[in-house]
Structure 1
């Protein structure tokens, strides 16, 4: 059986918000497996928000660039937040985002090999950046969105400079309506996406493994109610329907009014101008999303260096 260390208990507590003793019990019950312990705590109603996935460590910037019916978003990481304020780093993020946009590049290896505006490749410019700034940096991910007619609009939250910040969103609206109608609508939807963090466009598009995991948790919770099997089945179906509704963009309640589903907001905008408006795609990059921070005990490090 895995050793249940204080560090392991702390990590579980940081990720779930549950009490220390509950975290320790969860780890004991699940052989020290963090993910299984999170599920165990949630089935007991002891874990906090389902989406809390630990502290994000990576610094840097998310860059966003659009050009009518095309848009690109790129994440470039650095070791510290200080680099994100560096003019040279910001210029690099801006240039690389434009390279991704112009070339329609989503593959990171292809982006690294692409020509950089001032000469050489993106990878060579990155190496020069690292040498000049004195801190490690990396290309993490890139996405490009296009529509045949309509607009692709971008939004940056917590902007450090024009077109770059902590969260970058692209919204693709397919329509024959004019940009004067589509641009403000897309901006509002992009702000919604930045705030609400939908996991898919439609409920049916949600990751199958994620839905299966939610169903397993719902089944265990429902089973503990002691109700008849047919009632338990309805409880589980209801929980999954709620999960799909709350995590799919089109069925989420629009943050601007808190009561209208996003799909209805788009339909109403189309009706007003006599044109069909379709939300074709969205992309949301949050800086460092999914990268765990390596925490250290500074006092312990000092003591170790001092030979204590």
Structure 2
């Protein structure tokens, strides 16, 4: 029987399972929608889908290199306890291997990759069903370098933060030091030259508003105020510019000086911190108990 896109869509809406899993279920059951839904439940995939509404803001990041290929990724769970589970770390190992081997360009192609007979999407869904918490591959980035470039990789607190750097020149030690700098100081750009103009303009606007609300500066001449804004802007931009930051191992020099002394320059960097940008739900246990009593 021909499995149509409409059938896959209907089953996906019905069960919440992934597209590839729905297609496989329909193929296995000759297009019978009820049997396909039951097949997904038996595989634990529909059960996993029911957990999809939960907030998964814990987990681990991972960075790994293999020759001229590197990958950095984040896998989320609902609790920090599960992130320490052996099954969870085994899942990260599988994801690391398949991403390094296949170098997918986006999340859809990554989840469609096959490992040990199942798609990565199914593998993650099975882990969700087995572990009992929502597990998700949130993001990843595959980075390639030339033979002359150097990778630097660093994981902090067992993977709560991961950083990857690519240097032109230098060596492995310098590249790892810069990865540690990225992990600890959280720069957003390599230098001011790499910052979008709209980012700079927005920061200038913020500093201007701060100054306008400072009563002690109201009487200053306009040219003086402008100079103060630009000075504050420069300081603010330095904080998010990697090469302008103070080098974490030596407060007497900036990262740019450290790089220059080692004949190195930064080509690119990536930093992931677990759960950044995810709004975590605040739980109030006492309030929850009272709500149950009053029902």
Q: Same fold (TM over 0.5)?
A: yes
The aligned residue for residue 172 of structure 1 is: 166
Does structure 2 retain, via aligned residues, the 8 Å contact 1:63–1:94?
no
Q: In the alignment, which residue of structure 1 is the partner of 2:273?
A: 286
Measure, in 2, the Cα distance between the counterparts of 1:194 and 1:182. Answer: 18
Partner of 1:124: 122
Name the SS of the counterpart of 1:89 in structure 2.
helix
| Residues 103-122 of structure 1 mapped to structure 2, 5 A cutoff | 103-116=102-115, 118-122=116-120
Distance 1:89 1:106, change over 3 A: farther
- 1:21 aligns to what? none
User: Do 1:146 and 1:152's aligned partners in 2 also have CA atoms closer than 8 Å?
Assistant: no
Report the secondary structure of 2:235's partner residue.
helix
Structure-2 residue corresponding to 1:215: 204
Q: For 1:129 and 1:110, locate their aligned partners in 2 and report how far apart those are by CA, in whole Å.
A: 19
Q: What are the within-5 Å matches in structure 2 for residues 84-99 of structure 1?
A: 84-99=83-98
Q: Is 1:64–1:169's contact at 8 Å kept on the other side of the alignment?
A: yes
Q: 2:152, 2:177 within 8 Å by CA — same for their partners in 1?
A: no
- Given that 1:62 and 1:166 are in contact with CA atoms closer than 8 Å, whether structure 2 keeps it comes out as yes
Q: Pairwise mapping of residues 1-12 of structure 1 onto structure 2 (< 5 A)?
A: none
CA contact (8 A) 2:100 2:142 kept: yes
What residue in structure 2 maps to residue 302 of structure 1?
Answer: 289
- TM score, norm. by length of structure 2: 0.75
Unaligned stretches of 5+ in structure 1?
A: 1-55, 160-164, 176-180, 271-276
Whether the 8 Å contact between 1:62 and 1:75 is mirrored in structure 2 is yes
CA displacement at 1:203 relative to structure 2: 1.4
Query: Which residue of 2 is the match for residue 61 of structure 1?
Result: 60
Q: Is the 8 A contact 1:58 1:78 kept in 2?
A: yes
Residue 74 of structure 2 corresponds to 75
The number of residues matched between the two structures is 236
Equivalent in 128, 131, 134 of residue 132 of structure 2: 134
Q: CA deviation at 1:254?
A: 0.6
Which segments of 5 or more consecutive residues in structure 2 lack a partner in the other structure? 1-54
Question: What CA distance in whole angstroms lies between the structure 1 residues aligned with 2:151 and 2:284?
Answer: 45
2:177 alignment partner in structure 1: 188
TM-score using structure 1 length: 0.72
State the distance in 1 between where 2:196 and 2:286 align. Answer: 42
| Aligned partners of 2:56 and 2:76 also within 8 Å | no
Q: Please give the root-mean-square deviation of Cα atoms over the aligned residues, in Å.
A: 1.8
| Cα deviation, residue 84, structure 1 | 0.9
For residue 258 of structure 1, give the secondary structure of its aligned residue in structure 2.
coil
For 1:258 and 1:307, locate their aligned partners in 2 and report how far apart those are by CA, in whole Å: 58
